[in-house]
Copies of this chain bind each other. A is one copy, B any other.
Amino acid sequence: MDKIYIVGHKNPDTDSVCSAIALARFKELTGAENCVAVTAGKINKETEFVLNYYGVQVPEVLESVEAKQKLILVDHNEYGQAVGGADQAQLVQVVDHHKVGGFQTAEPLYVRIEPVGSTCSIVAQYYKEKGLVPEKAIAGILLAAILSDTVIFKSPTCTELDKVIAAELAAIAGVDPKTFGIDMFKAGSNIAERTPQSMIEEDFKAFTMGSHKVGVGQVSLMGMDGFEDVRANLNKELENYRNSQGLRYICLMVTDILSDYTELIVKGDNPEEVAKAFGKELVNGSVELPGVLSRKKQVVPPMTTYFSA
């Protein structure tokens, strides 16, 4: 039987990786044994902590696929964010929680997109709808992804459904969501262990805003201890990254989860234009955004509106 790869977006995050693994297991439980979870790049420290905690094997990295490969996309629906060659593959399913970005298919397929906080909340519903209870490890990684994408339920993208499902999963996984979430974010945010490049690439996406190509990354930290030590190198690396990607602006959300605060570092020829998008002044090359946690809901929309005007 033809293999079907289940794969999240490039620069994989915990939701991308865990939704692929949990969906592959669901497929196996419901009789489809040819589905294999893979990743579109190396997993990050946070995801490594989660898989290690529950003794789940790290999926194989697959950075490109051949034409006609059967593919299930999780946590994204735009070919631009997908594994190389995805636009020539045969999509059989899409499971996602982002806006629809104009993908096309040659044949009807399964698509399920819901405006919830995490793709894993949708995968957990597949289990519920079939009357299946995920094993402890699968429940644990599904919960981890919900905690990751909703920043322990604090992000404005978090819905009631995410909370209900997370509570059910936590009971199976045998952890307290808040404690587990903080441990997970700490594992992912150890500044001393990280290179500036890894902080930029951890969760980086490029957007078209008006006529500009703008990159926005996000690094989530548990407190700002040690951050000032890396700032100079991070600034230099952001300039390099901007040039290599040909971006009008590059922005990095440095989000402190403990204090619900984001510092948006901005590089580009007129960085004060980005500050204006938030009705703010630029302070030492950054925009201060108290209460901001979500790129999707709180950072990209005002910038897109400003640069499209």
Chain A residues with CB under 8 Å of chain B are 97-115, 129
Contact = CB atoms under 8 A, between A and B. Distances in A.
Contacts of A98: 108
Contacts of A101: 104
A130 to B, nearest CB: 10
A111 B100 contact: yes
Contact of A103 (B102, B110, B115, B129): B102
Contact of A109 (B108, B110, B113, B129): B113
A109 B105 contact: no
Given A100-B103, A100-B105, A105-B100, A112 B115 contact: no
Contacts of A129: 129
Given A113-B109, A114-B110, A115-B109, A102 B104 contact: yes
A75 to B, nearest CB: 12
A109 B99 CA distance: 7
Nearest to A104: B102
Contact of A110 (B106, B107, B108, B115): B115
Which secondary structure characterizes the binding site on chain A? loop
Number of copies: 2
A104 B208 CA distance: 14
Nearest to A100: B105
5 contacts: A99-B104, A99-B107, A111-B112, A111-B113, A112-B113
Given A107-B115, A110-B114, A113-B108, A102 B102 contact: yes
Contacts of A115: 107-110
A100 B97 CA distance: 17
A128 to B, nearest CB: 9
Contact of A100 (B109, B112, B114): B109
A43 to B, nearest CB: 24
Contact of A105 (B99, B105, B106): B99
A106 B112 contact: no
Q: Please give me the 3 A-B residue pairs with the lowest Cβ-Cβ distance, nearest first.
A: A108-B115, A111-B113, A102-B104
Q: Which of A97, A98, A100 has the most CB of B within 10 A?
A: A100
A115 B93 CA distance: 10
Contacts of A102: 102-104
Given A100-B111, A101-B104, 14 more contacts: A97-B108, A99-B106, A99-B108, A100-B105, A100-B109, A108-B115, A110-B113, A110-B114, A110-B115, A111-B111, A111-B113, A111-B114, A112-B113, A129-B129
Contacts of A107: 99, 115
A80 to B, nearest CB: 13
